[in-house]
Structure 1
């Protein structure tokens, strides 16, 4: 995609001349939607990104947040430790359509290097994946390749994938979404940022040799996918080498630990040109870079190729001159390439290249770094506000058994065990609660104030639901935020911070941009209501194909904390009362079915159920209930409704006998968020904890017979756990 005429005119005015070929290509990539957020940045100020624990907010490779001292997580007494985590998320959508294995794998590699560039060690990954209809062979092909790519890269580098989500929706048929989040760990004294610090310091490139893979990846990610993208755009897809990444992780740990790094940036979008110009711009300084000094793995690369190649497993460091030899020594120890490619100067970003003796050394880039990195003009786009659909429910409605089997057996609500069993989710010995629950729980022992005290349990949840945001972008995005927060509270943790990955179609289409604006505002409003700062994120637009635009998809990755690493499971123990908290439908409210898997499977439309407001007290109460000694299980109610939540809790020998009054289908299949099912031996303690905060209903008992007996209104059914397990194994049956 060439530089637009209006952009080229701005560049010519700034430079006072026509740009060189390398400059034009560099501006094209750095001013692309993927890098410059030209259509989304005007909207992102809606997010509240500051908070008492936020150390580094949006704008760097990853955000940095201080962990609360264990036991002080509640709002009125929180104290923060000098143990920090990083949070980052990125998309690799277009590459994963063209080459699902390498596209997804390099997405993992990129977000891990974003973590490293802050001085952190990566400790946990989450992947949120979106594909076309599961019944389509091409969707399953992409699904299989993406999961294989993620598992291969993550397993090889030794970073556990502990959380995430998978959704199937028609809008992703020609453009899947692959969103990957990473959490890293560091101490206060190890923090590094991307801003260069001092003229005279050297710029050092460490890692793999530069090749021609990934050329133009940033501009490629800012275009609609064409019908022939799988063949024509393959050169824009990077190729990963996880074994080198593992070496780079360990080398980075040593470089930071030895205080050899002044600033750092990983080489991602727009390659060396992107990373180095952004570092210089953030430091408000300049640089002189000799491109031919970059170590290369392919012969006769020209200046533009060296500047923009998105070859993986590379880092750019600012290093004091007296520390260069020590950096070289550590790079050599890990068998990594190392090049001193230039130095920090007072002003201007200058790249030179000596391609041949006859031409001598040429200046191929000479521009203000701030203009390169931040000079792209923002887009002022028209939008159309989305409208809620009318109520048009299936008539006649399916009987309760048919509805239950269809919804519980949908790929969207079915078990994702086929996915996460391919991931090594226990490497690193931190995983206290494995994938398959509401949220993962990761042990951060370093935060303990004394050796004998418990450390921090870090709850980690990530995902979105395209059914919700396709019907109602604003309220659907609010529901995404509340659902992730409820997942965390259900494990006894208190939400701390979040990062988002905002995916949408072509923003130049008013209806698409209207939906995108809706998910931004909805996510921002609900996170502010929850007092959860959104400390960073990623935007991916132009996710269009011959099949049309994707549904507006606001992936949210949220973390929360608690003292210690114990949490109640989502599965019934078979020994207590079953309670539902936060469910207004059980109060007699006619909650709509819009955005539900029930309507997705049976047809029909309805309004989306507006999420409740002012949920912080509810989440605190739910976290307290989860940590109560009498609590045996806690599980949020969301995707698929109460029917799916109960089916997921019936495992092994444990079952439940549940009775509800009212409209069976609305009670069991509405997907209003902000609810949870609790198994407890002390129901009065739950009632006391949520008194005045949320409604609570005792709806039955858990049983030791492995059967779900369910009565709702004048309908009832009894389903054996073996039959539920068979219903929920649809993905495993099809993929194996």
Structure 2
């Protein structure tokens, strides 16, 4: 038998009847994160003061993390983007647990990126681990089998004590949970900047695969249908967790509030995955919702609101790990590895037989009604009686004041193009070795080697490739590709252009592997929405992302907003992480990112300009941030992507140019493959090597394919420049310098191990 809380004395239970007769009782609304006007609005909705349980529900569901109350007014513009991908209409989009898109052959893919930033600072291992667990359950809830995860990460300076505290735990948490689930980690980033000190970003993404007919949505419909809670028992871990913790700014000396961080159990999650997929196959699920942020408060109110509008729940039937939990604590608990299903009465026996088979505990805790109310009882007494939509969807919406900060003009006027730059071959050589060893450009194997990238046997590309790629069908070799990207330095210089550059880089990375970019998920990480400058950054980033998606012809399928990412008065760099998912018809015909053989021709695609502001060179060589980011040319990005798709089977390798410019791309292609290169550059060699102009890639082809490449470049209106030839064991720039690959690799690979042990 499951533990249940004993019935309290009637005089101590705050029921709806008690609340109606006791209107002036003092309540801890401020301690729960509600504003005075929000508390008054709850009273207006209910026509009385809320009970303690109702107050708990509204407080977590109206938190910034759950309600998006500061961001809704800007996010709604994503609805202006046509809800179809380059190959067909979206199957599920914004508002669902995760987006779902058609990829052909009867297959669909669900994907999404979310944040677990503040919990990962408070408790790095469990914060990161449960971030992975939560995004995986979002994918399961759509009816999809998870097939891969990604992890875009941001940390403070590599040499900072607190980075040494949080980074190992976060990486271990991501790897430990994903590895136990048997999910390959195929992509992500690890970026270091002083603004993330005390506020690391832990974004987690997941891809799942399903057949079209297996799609499931989160709604509770059908009067008399049963509400079943299954998975792990509810405990005291995570009470108020991410829903409150992610809705507050950290003080300079640490979190002012430290709600309990959730504790994950990946082995229970693995059982939950297999159990849920079998429930779907058996056809015994009428509606489903995972329990993540806000726990039962979220699952019950969202399911009821999205369905027929009514639900009656018996909270004392919830299986507990701690029998002393109060109704408020049970509703606020964010204990992990839990799902809620709506089941027709005739299917409940089959449902419970399957959960028993998988040793997954399940309890019928309520039923669907047509009352339009969410009613929750506790040992026969009603402690919640609310219109569910007011909890789940009709929370406060703030039009926060926003304004372009006064310092923005001075920041943009301080361009890096005026900084002293290397002029001799020896100086250019030293710059290359300095950059490849820098924290943001160095080898990330210390991190990625802790992840199983090839479990399940369908991984085609993974780090350090430009994008991750997995096979979906073992017979046809249909596959999908994903890349997550963002340069927060560019977004600080110009948040509109910065968001577009994040999208453009992810779009380009997917294309270099030979995949067709289809759709976007985002994870928008910013500082306090109560700062008009931060809200301006957020508004501009949303506008930029919307405009870029319109021009590229790809939709936003959903995503996540994470605000209050700042310590004291120091906000993080605006970090609109963008994930782009693409499809490839045959993964065997992918294009690798590194050199494949000697005596192949190296060709630069795209136009290089003197664009150094916000670059890694400016950061590493001068600790400088100022000027304007690289120019955004979405037409050029689209043309380049189409060219790269047509080059499948012709190009022997393709690598995008982004952080570190051409020099970094050539160095990575050479170091990973062990094949050197000799190139010559026209004009300013420094600009040619280290500028970070967008819409560029470097490809290699056999000498006999140069004319076909030239013809395709002309057809797609993409400039091409022949650079040189692969081969040897050095990276050489004619007339300037050469570096043995061994020396280059030594600089590239030792940074993280030396710093982290």
The two structures have a TM-score, normalised by structure 1, of 0.93
Aligned twin of 1:40: 71
Partner of residue 371 from structure 1, selected from 366, 380, 390? 390
> Which residue, out of 671, 683, 687, partners 2:706?
683
- 1:544 positional shift: 1.2
1:665 deviation in Å?
A: 2.4
**Residue in structure 1 matching 2:484, options 445, 462, 475:** 462
Counterpart check, 1:706 vs 2:726: no
Deviation string, structure 1 residues 30-79 (Cα, Å, up to 9, x no partner): 111111111111111232260033100110111111113xxxxxxxxxxx
Residues 97 and 139 in structure 2, CA contact (< 8 A), matched pair in contact too:
yes
Asked if residue 321 in structure 1 is aligned to residue 345 in structure 2, the reply is: yes
Q: Could you say if the C-alpha distance between residues 397 and 618 of structure 1 is closer, same or farther in structure 2, counting changes exceeding 3 Å? A: closer
**Partner secondary structure for residue 268 of structure 1:** coil
What residue in structure 1 maps to residue 577 of structure 2? Answer: 555
Tell me the TM-score normalised to structure 2 length: 0.90
Question: Which residue of 412, 425, 431 maps to 1:403?
Answer: 431
Partner of 2:643: 621
Cα distance in structure 2, aligned partners of 1:416 and 1:639:
14
Q: Residue 291 of structure 1 contacts residue 351 of structure 1 at CA under 8 Å; is this kept in 2? A: no
Whether the 8 Å CA contact 2:416–2:613 is kept in 1: the answer is no
Match of 1:664 among 662, 685, 694: 685
Secondary structure of residue in 1 paired with 2:270: helix
Contact 2:552 2:634 in 1 (8 A): no
Instruction: Give the aligned partner of residue 547 of structure 2.
Output: 525
- Worse-superposed segment, 54-63 or 456-465: 456-465
CA displacement at 1:201 relative to structure 2: 0.3
Q: How does 1:67-466 map to 2 (within 5 A)?
A: 67-68=103-104, 81-217=105-241, 218-227=243-252, 229=254, 233-354=257-378, 361-385=380-404, 386-387=408-409, 388-393=412-417, 395-398=419-422, 399-445=427-473, 454-466=476-488
3-state DSSP of counterpart to 2:106:
strand
Deviation for aligned residue 1:392: 4.8
Q: In structure 1, which of residues 588, 596, 606 is the aligned counterpart of residue 627 of structure 2?
A: 606
Superposed displacement of residue 375, structure 1: 1.5
The whole-number CA distance in structure 2 between the counterparts of 1:392 and 1:270 is 45
- Consecutive unaligned residues in structure 1, runs of 5 or more: 69-80, 356-360
Per the alignment, residue 83 of structure 2 pairs with: 50
Q: CA deviation at 1:597?
A: 0.4
Q: Check the 8 A contact 2:471/2:477 in 1, yes or no.
A: yes
5+ residue gaps, structure 2, are 1-31
Which residue does the alignment assign to 2:15?
none
CA distance in 1, matches of 2:554, 2:189: 21
Mean Cα displacement is larger for which, 462-471 or 215-224? 462-471
Distance 1:345 1:608 in 2: 55
| Contact 1:432–1:565 (8 Å) recurs in 2 | yes
What number of residue pairs does the alignment pair up?
A: 701
1:484 aligned residue (502, 506, 527): 506
Is the Cα contact below 8 Å between 1:86 and 1:183 reproduced in 2?
Answer: yes
**Is the Cα–Cα contact under 8 Å of residues 485 and 503 in structure 2 kept in the other structure?**
no
What's the secondary structure of 1:660's corresponding residue? coil
**Cα drift, residue 717 of structure 1:** 1.3
Q: For the Cα contact (< 8 Å) 2:416–2:614, is it kept in 1? A: no
Structure 2 CA distance for aligned equivalents of residues 395 and 191 of structure 1: 55
Deviations 1:405-449 (A, max 9, x none): 221211101111111111111111211123210011110117xxx
Q: Which residue of 2 aligns with 1:24?
A: 55
Q: Residue 331 of structure 2 aligns to a residue in which SS?
A: helix
Q: How far apart, in 2, do the equivalents of 1:228 and 1:363 lie?
A: 42
Q: Tell me how far apart the structure 2 counterparts of residues 134 and 332 of structure 1 sit (CA, whole Å).
A: 48
CA distance in 1, matches of 2:111, 2:65: 19
Whether 1:648 and 2:668 are equivalent positions in the alignment is yes
Pick aligned residue for 2:102 from 52, 66, 87: 66
C-alpha displacement at 1:684, in angstroms? 1.7
Query: What SS is found at the alignment partner of 1:525?
Result: helix
**d(CA) in 2 for partners of 1:313, 1:104:** 15
Determine whether 1:536 maps to 2:558. yes
- Range 319-328 or range 285-294, more displaced: 319-328
Counterpart for residue 616 of structure 2: 597
Match of 1:493 in 2: 515
CA contact (8 A) 1:467 1:597 kept: no
Distance 2:63 2:121 in 1: 20
CA distance in 2, matches of 1:633, 1:392: 32
Q: CA deviation at 1:528?
A: 2.1
Q: Is the 8 A contact 1:49 1:535 kept in 2?
A: no
User: For the residues of structure 1 that align with 2:540 and 2:33, how far apart are their CA atoms?
Assistant: 30
The 2-side partners of 1:661 and 1:510 are apart by: 45
Larger mean Cα displacement after TM superposition, 329-338 or 365-374: 329-338
